[in-house]
Structure 1
Amino acid sequence: MKINWGVGIVIAFGLFITFILYFVVMVQSDSKYDNDLVVEEYYKHDAKFGDEMARIQNAEDLAQKPTINVVSNGVEIVFPKIFVPKNIKGKVSLYRPSNKKLDFQIPISLSDATTLLIPIKSLVRGRWDVNMEWQYDGKSYLSKETIYIN
C-alpha cells in the first residue's frame, strides 16, 4: 500500500499531538514537577496589595534600614542601633521559589542584641526570597530581598 503526502501529514500531526499530550500528562501527574501557586489564596493576597505597598514605603523611608547578610554560619538580619531590640516584633518568611516545601517562617524576637541569625543548617543552597514583616512603635514595615546561599 502506498501512502500519499496528505496521509503522511495527518500521521505526522497525529504523532506530534500524541507526543505533546504524553508530556502534559507526565508533568501533571509527577510530583517532581510541582506547579503550585507561589501564594495560597492568591486573590485574597492581591486585595491587600495597597497595605503591603504602604508597609514597603515605611521601610524605604527609614534613615537606617535593617540589613540582610549571608555569612558563613547562616543569614544574619541586623537592625540599626537606633531601634530598641525588645520593641521589634514580627516575622521573617523565607520562600524557596523552586520548592514550596522548603518555605518556613521565623518570629523576630530580640532580647538585647539587634541581630537575628538564621542557621545555615536550615537553608538549602540556591535562591531564597526573604520577606521581613515587622512592627516598631505601632508602625508596620515590610522589607523584601532575594539572597543566594552558596
Structure 2
Amino acid sequence: MKIKIHWGTAMVIAMIAFMVFILQFVYRTLAVDKYNHQMVSEDYYKDELYYQKELDKLNNASRLPQNVIVEKVDGGLLIQFPADMEASKISGTASFQRPSDQKLDFTKDIVLTNKNMLVQNERLIRGKWNIRVDWKYEGVEYLLKESVFY
C-alpha cells in the first residue's frame, strides 16, 4: 500500500516540525545549565548613574604623559604605573573580569613594588580578560580599561 501525502498534509507536517525545532531551541537556551546567562554587572542601573564620573576618570588618565601599561610576563600580568608618580601615593583597585565565566572574576587592591603590580598566574586562566584599573593619585582619580588575551 502506497501512502500519498497531499500538499496540505505536507504543510501541516512542516509547520509541526518547525514548531518542535523552535520549542527545543527555546528549552535549550533557557533551561540547560550549559548555556548560563550571566550579566556583566548585577547593578547595571546603579552603574549607569556613575557613568559620568567614569568618563571623567578615563579623561584624567588619557591626559597623563604616560598611562598605566598592562603586559603579560612569565609570572603573570604586570601592571606598570607612570614613572612620574610616587608609588606610596597610589591607591585603588584592579578588577579582572572574564567575559566567558563570571566565577573567575576577581578584584585586587593595588599594592606596588617599584611602581609595578604583578598578578600571579594562579588566578589567570588562558583567554580574554577585561581589566579595569581604578586608582587615585594626589586626590585625582584615574581609570584604565583594557582587554587582554592571556
Query: How does the TM-score come out when normalised to structure 1?
Result: 0.93
Partner of residue 7, structure 1? 9
Partner of residue 73, structure 1? 75
Q: 2:22 aligns with which of 1, 20, 23?
A: 20
SS across alignment from 1:109: coil
Q: Is the 8 A contact 1:86 1:109 kept in 2?
A: no
Counterpart residue type for residue 87 of structure 2: P
Mean CA deviation greater in 122-131 or 35-44? 35-44
SS across alignment from 1:105: strand
Q: How many Å separate the matches in 1 of 2:32 and 2:4? A: 41
1:1-150 counterparts in 2 under 5 A? 2-110=4-112, 112-149=113-150
Q: Which runs of 5+ in 1 are unaligned?
A: none
Query: How does the TM-score come out when normalised to structure 2?
Result: 0.93
Q: How many Å separate the matches in 2 of 1:103 and 1:141? A: 21
Counterpart residue type for residue 144 of structure 1: K
SS across alignment from 2:95: strand
Counterpart residue type for residue 56 of structure 2: A
Counterpart residue type for residue 16 of structure 1: F
SS across alignment from 1:132: strand
SS across alignment from 1:9: helix
How far off is 1:96 after superposition? Answer: 0.6
Q: Which runs of 5+ in 2 are unaligned?
A: none
How far off is 1:27 after superposition? Answer: 2.1
Sequence identity, in percent? 36
Q: How many Å separate the matches in 2 of 1:9 and 1:86? A: 75
Q: How many Å separate the matches in 2 of 1:13 and 1:21? A: 12
Aligned residues: 148
Counterpart residue type for residue 79 of structure 1: F
Runs of 4 or more off by more than 3 Å in structure 1? none
SS across alignment from 1:18: helix
Q: How many Å separate the matches in 1 of 2:47 and 2:123? A: 27
Computed over aligned residues only, the root mean square deviation of the Cα atoms, in angstroms, reads 1.3
Point out the structure with max Rg over C-alpha. Answer: 2
